[in-house]
Amino acid sequence: MLRPGNIDMEISSLAHGCYNLGFLGISRAQNSHAFLTWWAERLFDFCYDDICRGIFTDQRWVDLAPCFFDVSVLKHHGYDFATWSLLNSDLRQVGDGYQINGDPLRFIHFSGLDSGTIDKAIGWWLAADNRDTFVELYKEYKQLLLKHGQEKLGKLPWTYANYADGRKISKEARVAYRNKALWEVVPSPFDASDREICAAFDSTETGEPRANGPSAEPASPPGVLDRVAASVRTVGVGPTMLKAIRKMKRGTITR
């Protein structure tokens, strides 16, 4: 977003990140290497959706990039033009090309095509004087997708949605496996199961294995107070405090 005025998208940017990263240019320089190294380290552990903690996949991390590295923000309306840019945008055909607010169109990011967000945004934010131009480009893009096999390719199953034996991985197991302690206990997660991963998580947190499989409703791992309460029930107050002190000395307690 390059201009204020769309309060919905401004709030969304606060939650999901200021930079969409549909377009990112990297030069071959030490500054770029430092950025990529830092970004890769963060994404290895924290590339998921947890907006309540300020995390949204790869995007929110890059909000910090201008603070840590030499970064340029390309303020050109023609790159990564997308649904969040539609409000009050002057999109028009000029000769054989197109312009957006005076900038030549380089490429459109048709974000939200599968979810239907684009269709909603067309109704929300496009005015009569530029609706037809965007709708025609959108129609052309969908025809190209159809021509190149999207109807079939778009239905291919996601490899990482299932265990090696074909069973679907639950959200509960995914969230539990964010705990690095499980990486040694269950080193090959795709060869495991929901029951094995969740039981390993419970054993790591409370010292007691889980008797049953995961609950019907996916849940996030328990917070600090929940883990303390579970430990007190299991081993008592004294051992729980000693355990907490040891963790604090090792620097392993997190909020």
Q: pLDDT tens, 133-149?
A: 999 999 999 999 999 99
Specify the 3-state DSSP secondary structure of 85.
Answer: helix
> Is residue 5 scored above 60 in pLDDT?
yes
pLDDT mean across residues, the chain: 86
* More confident position, 72 or 221: 72
Residue 88 lies inside a defined structural domain of this protein: yes
Q: Are residues 86 and 149 in the same domain?
A: yes
Domain count, the chain: 2
Residue 233 lies inside a defined structural domain of this protein: yes
For residues 213 and 198, is the Cβ–Cβ distance under 8 A?
Answer: yes
Q: At 150, which helix (H) or strand (E)? A: helix 150-153
- Per-residue pLDDT at 10: 94
Largest CA distance in the chain: 78
Q: Are residues 152 and 91 in the same domain?
A: yes
Residue 6 to residue 89: CA distance in whole angstroms: 11
Strands 55-56 and 91-94: unpaired
Render 19-50 in DSSP notation, one character per residue: ---SS----SSHHHHHHHHHHHHHHHHH-SEE
For residues 25 and 108, is the Cβ–Cβ distance under 8 A?
Answer: no
Residue 7 lies inside a defined structural domain of this protein: no
In tens, the pLDDT along 26-65 reads: 999 999 999 999 999 999 999 999 999 999 999 999 999 9
Q: Are residues 85 and 132 in the same domain?
A: yes
156, 187, 222 - which closes a domain: 156
Q: Are residues 168 and 242 in the same domain?
A: yes
118, 135, 156 - which closes a domain: 156
Can you tell me the mean pLDDT for 4-26? 93
Q: Are residues 186 and 145 in the same domain?
A: no
Q: Are residues 188 and 240 in the same domain?
A: yes
In the structure, what pLDDT confidence band is assigned to residue 243 with cuts at 50, 70 and 90?
low
Q: Are residues 102 and 141 in the same domain?
A: yes
Residue 136 lies inside a defined structural domain of this protein: yes
Residue 243 lies inside a defined structural domain of this protein: yes
**Between the CA atoms of 171, 175, 181 and 185, what dihedral angle is there, to the nearest 10 degrees?**
0
Buried b (16+ CB within 10 A) or exposed e, 103-138: bebeebbbbebeeebbeebeeebbeeebeebbeebb
> Is residue 215 scored above 50 in pLDDT?
no
- For 102, the domain range is 74-156
For the question of whether the overall pTM of this predicted structure is more than 0.85, the answer is: no
Residue 14 lies inside a defined structural domain of this protein: no
Residue 220 to residue 217: CA distance in whole angstroms: 10
In the structure, what pLDDT confidence band is assigned to residue 241 with cuts at 50, 70 and 90?
low
- Per-residue pLDDT at 129: 82
156, 188, 221 - which closes a domain: 156
In the structure, what pLDDT confidence band is assigned to residue 255 with cuts at 50, 70 and 90?
very low
Q: At 156, which helix (H) or strand (E)? A: none
